[in-house]
């Protein structure tokens, strides 16, 4: 039972990756944990995790205020996002492991303003799409504590490399009227990658107070030193005066981070979990500049979950539900506010919930 509880907690820590919640382009490159390796420091084994994630974003926010009129008027932007994440992990002796994460992404974005315009009626609504491999990540992990001396808990650190394998110049047609379509890069939120080579840092930890009750945490930060990726934000059109003046004619390459913490209860083969999850795309990066177009913001979610452990297979389902959404000021917003003396702050669309269902196989 103790070994199962530890494994279950680590599955909970590891099965969620940072995922876009709509127009805030937080991509699926978040922390994944090597899960049950804390109980097998000297075991050489492989594990394959297959995770399916889906969300629909449609609620617009400026700061923490929802722009409810967008739904009433029918001008809301709707993002549909599905990601199949394939994570292969190889464990080694003394708590070391190496993981490879390959996301396969399918996105669709329905809007009016990008096509016929928000005043064009229902016929002005059209969709753009993107499909392909996302940004691949390679990560090395190390459990810091000897499991034989500290059987109730452990701490794991991870350092990784995020590669710009996802197409960050993906294009589709924007329908301007019955006779005109314009080919251009799709919105930043549905691009398959961000165009930057990034570095990831992680800290995963758990502690079991009893055979039934335990706690966990998962911390993740992606450092993207590249400032801009050179992709136009005009959707095949012409840049506005404001876009040129405040530096948003091309897409930014933002950092992102995630914090998760909660508790688990294990009973008769099932592990129930409940926790808080916060994921963020900051307005300013740790390293390098922060200009270019981005929609910074964060989502705080209540994250219930359930998993079940078979002999060599674990199945799991988690549904983070948003309790706070905040589209904060970007660097461009701050520059415009300073220049005009009038507060400027863009909006972004967020989802109500995220569905994460998957399984992991040891072999």
Q: List pLDDT tens digits, range 202-238.
A: 999 999 999 999 999 999 999 999 999 999 999 988 9
Does pLDDT of 196 surpass 90?
Answer: yes
CA distances from 3 to 74, 152, 212, 232 (A): 52, 9, 11, 51
Lowest mean pLDDT among 34-48, 154-168, 292-306, 337-351: 34-48
CA distances from 222 to 127, 158, 334 (A): 30, 12, 24
Q: What's the length of the chain?
A: 363
The pLDDT of residue 99: 95
- Cβ contact 162:29 at 8 Å: yes
Residue extents of the structural domains in the chain: 2-362
What confidence tier does 32 reach under pLDDT thresholds 50, 70, 90? very low
How far apart CA 235 and CA 185 sit, in angstroms, is 6
How far apart CA 172 and CA 82 sit, in angstroms, is 18
96-111 and 153-162 strand pairing: unpaired
Tell which residue, 254, 262, 265, 190, has the closest CA to residue 15: 262
Tens digit of each residue's pLDDT (9 = 90 or more) over 108-143 = 999 999 998 998 888 999 999 999 999 999 999 999
Q: Dihedral, CA atoms, 230, 231, 236, 237, nearest 10 degrees? A: -50
The pLDDT of residue 311: 83
Q: Dihedral, CA atoms, 166, 26, 18, 139, nearest 10 degrees? A: 40
* Residue 173, phi then psi, degrees to nearest 5: -95, 135
Tell which residue, 293, 295, 218, has the closest CA to residue 257: 218
Class of CATH domain 2-362: mainly beta
Tokens, residue 153: 């808990």
CA distances from 284 to 4, 62, 130 (A): 41, 18, 27
Tens digit of each residue's pLDDT (9 = 90 or more) over 153-186 = 999 999 999 999 999 999 999 999 888 999 999 9
The pLDDT of residue 148: 81
The pLDDT of residue 40: 45
Does pLDDT of 348 surpass 70?
Answer: yes
The pLDDT of residue 146: 86
Read off the pLDDT of each residue in 331-356 and give the average, rounded to a whole number.
Answer: 96
Does pLDDT of 19 surpass 70?
Answer: no
225 exposed, middle or buried (CB, 10 Å; 0-12, 13-18, 19+)? middle
- Cβ contact 184:234 at 8 Å: yes
Strands (E), 169-248: 171-177, 180-185, 198-208, 213-223, 228-232
């Amino acid at each position: 039972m103790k070994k199962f509880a530890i494994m279950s907690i680590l599955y909970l820590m590891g099965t969620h990756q940072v995922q876009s919640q709509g127009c805030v382009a937080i991509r699926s490159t978040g922390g994944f944990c090597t899960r049950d390796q804390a109980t097998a420091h000297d075991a050489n084994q492989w594990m394959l995790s297959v995770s399916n994630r889906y969300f629909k974003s449609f609620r617009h926010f400026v700061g923490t205020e929802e722009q409810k009129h967008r739904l009433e008027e029918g001008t809301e932007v709707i993002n549909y996002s599905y990601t199949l994440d394939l994570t292969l992990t190889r464990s080694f002796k003394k708590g070391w492991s190496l993981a490879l994460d390959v996301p396969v992404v399918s996105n669709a974005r329905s809007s009016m303003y990008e096509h016929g315009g928000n005043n064009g009626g229902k016929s002005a609504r059209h969709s753009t799409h993107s499909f392909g491999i996302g940004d691949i990540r390679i990560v090395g992990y190390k459990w810091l504590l000897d499991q034989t001396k500290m059987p109730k808990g452990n701490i794991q650190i991870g350092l990784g490399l995020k590669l710009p394998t996802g197409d960050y110049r993906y294009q589709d047609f924007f329908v301007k009227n019955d006779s005109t379509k314009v080919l251009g890069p799709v919105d930043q939120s549905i691009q398959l990658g961000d165009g930057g080579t990034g570095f990831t840092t992680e800290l995963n930890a758990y502690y079991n107070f009893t055979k039934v009750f335990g706690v966990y945490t998962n911390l993740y930060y992606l450092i993207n030193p590249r400032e801009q990726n050179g992709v136009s934000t005009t959707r095949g059109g012409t840049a506005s005066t404001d876009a040129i003046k405040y530096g948003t004619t091309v897409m930014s390459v933002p950092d992102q981070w995630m914090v998760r913490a909660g508790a688990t209860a294990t009973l008769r083969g099932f592990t129930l979990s409940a926790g808080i999850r916060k994921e963020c795309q900051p307005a300013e990066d740790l390293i390098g500049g922060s200009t270019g177009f981005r929609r910074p913001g964060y989502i705080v979610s209540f994250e219930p979950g359930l998993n079940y452990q078979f002999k060599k297979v674990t199945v799991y389902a988690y549904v983070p539900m948003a309790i706070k959404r905040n589209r904060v000021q970007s660097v461009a917003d701050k520059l415009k506010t300073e220049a005009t003396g009038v507060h400027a702050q863009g909006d972004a669309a967020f989802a109500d919930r995220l569905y994460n269902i998957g399984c992991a196989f040891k072999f």
